[in-house]
Amino acid sequence: FDDYLLPAEKFAALKREQALPLAINPNSDQYLEERLQLLDEQLATVTRLAKDNELPDAILTESGLKITPLDAAVPDRAQALIDQTSQLLPRIKITELLMDVDDWTGFSRHFTHLKDGAEAKDRTLLLSAILGDAINLGLTKMAESSPGLTYAKLSWLQAWHIRDETYSAALAELVNHQYRHAFAAHWGDGTTSSSDGQRFRAGGRGESTGHVNPKYGSEPGRLFYTHISDQYAPFSTRVVNVGVRDSTYVLDGLLYHESDLRIEEHYTDTAGFTDHVFALMHLLGFRFAPRIRDLGETKLYVPQGVQAYPTLRPLIGGTLNIKHVRAHWDDILRLASSIKQGTVTASLMLRKLGSYPRQNGLAVALRELGRIERTLFILDWLQSVELRRRVHAGLNKGEARNSLARAVFFNRLGEIRDRSFEQQRYRASGLNLV
């Protein structure tokens, strides 16, 4: 485990020079005093509101917590206007759309030759190869359905010009262009985002590479895990096994994208959170706001005993182990710094931490730190209908993007039939870009 992290000497030097790349006070005493004071204040506020039955759209009784579902943020009468506006938008062939967008943004220039860095000479050939990935058609069928194209030409271009890094650079170009466009500000300011996994069934030759997760049924499949900004820009995507929890990959998309977006707040559904993720998100400067299913079953952790908060007793799961956090404080800072500097990916370390037995010191300490942040978040959630609406709206944007992706990825019955993981990644990247 230690081999994956920043060398101990380098970490010690960064800490000594007060140059740790983290968003928190690195002094454990000061940091914990501030967070625990805030936690105590929030617990007192929610206790008072619950006792006076003044929690907005929420009721806490001895039997548990009940939150009133959000009403529709968009009035029903607005749907007719939405439909009418949609009819006014011009219809265009997807091939022409790709050409037009490339004329505006020049994203195709990022698909450079592997050897000499030259741009692709035949733009039509390049965009055809990208479209073949996006609509799940593949190079053979694309060549058969496109006059003047051959499989040999498409295969050569893909081998020399289409790679993970060229897809990433082209995607960043598109995201940045939209981010700078004045119209995008009507959707958001580019500082919030959401992420979600979308399952595609594995079929044909790709069936043997798929994995089964009972959550999605008994058929094997792959998950495309995508991050989307509040401006509907999908700035990161990756192919993951359906058997791995979504939360493992939340930080990767926020830390390792190439766009100019500066995300401050991030939303996921229940599968996107763990206490470890809550802790690391806070350490790295992101406000984490998951929509937690069965919130009343997600317990709060308090600095003092349960008896100090009798009104909140139904929600309290235990007392925080602050002593353990102090004992492993430097380990926590070193882990977070290693992830921030790219010494190791967040997903790799989260998988390792999640696989350790409970007695692992760092895993337990990080969990306790995450419990502080999760408790603070839930207390915010209970007090703020606006927060609930913001999270709900952010996740809806991701669901809208997933619906579009499902429609675009229509060939081969929308199944992943590529055996190689490389080709599966190209499918996901092409779909995300288009």
- Give one DSSP letter per residue of 107-142, joined into a string: GGGGSB-TTT-PBPS-HHHHHHHHHHHHTT-HHHHH
- pLDDT bracket for residue 205 (50, 70, 90): low
CA 214 to the chain's CA centroid: 22
User: Does the pLDDT at position 334 exceed 90?
Assistant: yes
For 334, the token pair is 């070193």
Would you tell me the crossing angle of helices 151-161 and 138-145 to the nearest 10 degrees? 130
User: Does the pLDDT at position 162 exceed 50?
Assistant: yes
220 or 362, higher pLDDT: 362
- If you average pLDDT over residues 397-409, what whole number do you get? 95
Rounded-to-integer distance, Cα 433 and Cα 101, Å = 11
Would you tell me the crossing angle of helices 421-433 and 385-408 to the nearest 10 degrees? 110
Give the least confident one: 17-31, 177-191, 193-207.
Answer: 193-207
- pLDDT bracket for residue 391 (50, 70, 90): very high
Residues 6 or more apart in contact with residue 338 via CB below 8 angstroms: 4, 5, 6, 11, 344, 349
What pLDDT, in 10s, does the model give residues 352-368?
998 876 668 999 999 99
For 308, the token pair is 């100090």
What pLDDT, in 10s, does the model give residues 111-139?
999 999 999 999 999 999 999 999 999 99
What pLDDT, in 10s, does the model give residues 226-285?
999 999 999 999 999 888 889 999 999 999 999 999 999 999 999 999 999 999 999 999
Can you state the percent helix, strand and coil of the chain, rounding each to 5? 60, 10, 30
**How many CA atoms, within 13 angstroms, populate the side-chain half-sphere of residue 95?**
10
Rounded-to-integer distance, Cα 383 and Cα 156, Å = 58
Q: What is the pLDDT of residue 222?
A: 87
Residues 6 or more apart in contact with residue 406 via CB below 8 angstroms: 198, 414
Residue 414 contacts residue 149 (beta carbons within 8 Å): no
What pLDDT, in 10s, does the model give residues 306-321?
888 999 999 999 999 9
User: Does the pLDDT at position 206 exceed 50?
Assistant: no
3-state SS assignment for residue 221: strand
Beta-carbon count within 10 A of 138 CB: 19
**How many CA atoms, within 13 angstroms, populate the side-chain half-sphere of residue 427?**
32
Considering the entire predicted model, what is its pTM?
0.92
**Rg of the chain (C-alpha set):** 24
Burial 6-40 (b: 16+ CB within 10 A, else e): beeeebeebeeeeebebebebebeebbeebbeebe
